[in-house]
């Protein structure tokens, strides 16, 4: 009975360099995707209008005139687009970090970011009254 002897693979310096480079690529890709996800989360947090305020802005208010509610929703549209974009990109890169061996599609073009002045104007023009009514309604339930 003959035993087959496998020839041991000798690990030369060149082979070790290839192994180390492969491991570096394998571990660097998820870290890069986590970093990109954080970039989009910070960009989302820089928007002056919160999620609740956006919801209140695009939802018709009780006793509100239809045209005023529609104007508020239309004014919130650019803010909502950029918020949705950054949320989608953050989720995309978190998923890519969980599965770094899968290809990642190119990013769609970013919608224009509304200026801080525009965001402040939307809050002052539309949200102050909505939030006042919202606080009055919620205080009725808390008492």
Over residues 14-23, the pLDDT tens digits come to: 999 999 998 8
Identify the pLDDT of residue 60. Answer: 63
pLDDT of residue 91: 95
Count helices and strands in the chain by DSSP H and E runs: 5, 0
- pLDDT computed for residue 125 by the predictor: 80
Q: Are 92 and 36 in contact (CB under 8 A)?
A: no
Q: What is the pLDDT of residue 116?
A: 86
The pLDDT value given to residue 98: 92
Q: How many CB atoms lie within 10 A of CB 33?
A: 20
- pTM here? 0.69
What average pLDDT does this structure show over 119-139? 73
Identify the burial level of 39 via C-beta atoms within 10 angstroms of its C-beta, where 0-12 means exposed, 13-18 middle and 19 or more buried.
middle
Q: Which domain covers residue 88, as residue numbers?
A: 13-142
SS3 130: helix
Q: Which of the two residues, 2 and 116, has the higher pLDDT score? A: 116
Q: What Å distances lie between residue 71 and 5, 52, 79, 83, CA to CA?
A: 80, 18, 14, 19
Flag whether 2 is in a domain: no
The answer to the question of residue 6 being in a domain is no
Note whether 26 and 100 are within 8 A (CB). yes
What is the tally of structural domains in the chain? Answer: 1
In a domain, 83, yes or no: yes
91 or 57, which is more confident: 91
């Amino acid at each position: 009975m003959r035993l087959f002897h496998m020839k041991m693979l000798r690990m030369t310096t060149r082979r070790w360099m290839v192994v180390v480079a492969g491991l570096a690529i394998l571990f660097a890709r998820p870290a890069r995707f986590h970093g990109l996800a954080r970039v989009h989360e910070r960009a989302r947090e820089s928007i002056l209008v919160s999620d609740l305020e956006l919801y209140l802005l695009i939802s018709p208010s009780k006793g509100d005139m239809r045209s005023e509610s529609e104007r508020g929703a239309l004014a919130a549209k650019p803010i909502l687009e950029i918020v949705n974009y950054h949320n989608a990109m953050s989720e995309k890169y978190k998923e890519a970090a969980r599965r770094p061996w899968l290809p990642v599609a190119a990013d769609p073009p970013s919608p224009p970011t509304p200026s801080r002045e525009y965001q402040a104007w939307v809050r002052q023009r539309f949200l102050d009254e909505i939030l006042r009514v919202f606080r009055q309604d919620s205080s009725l339930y808390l008492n």
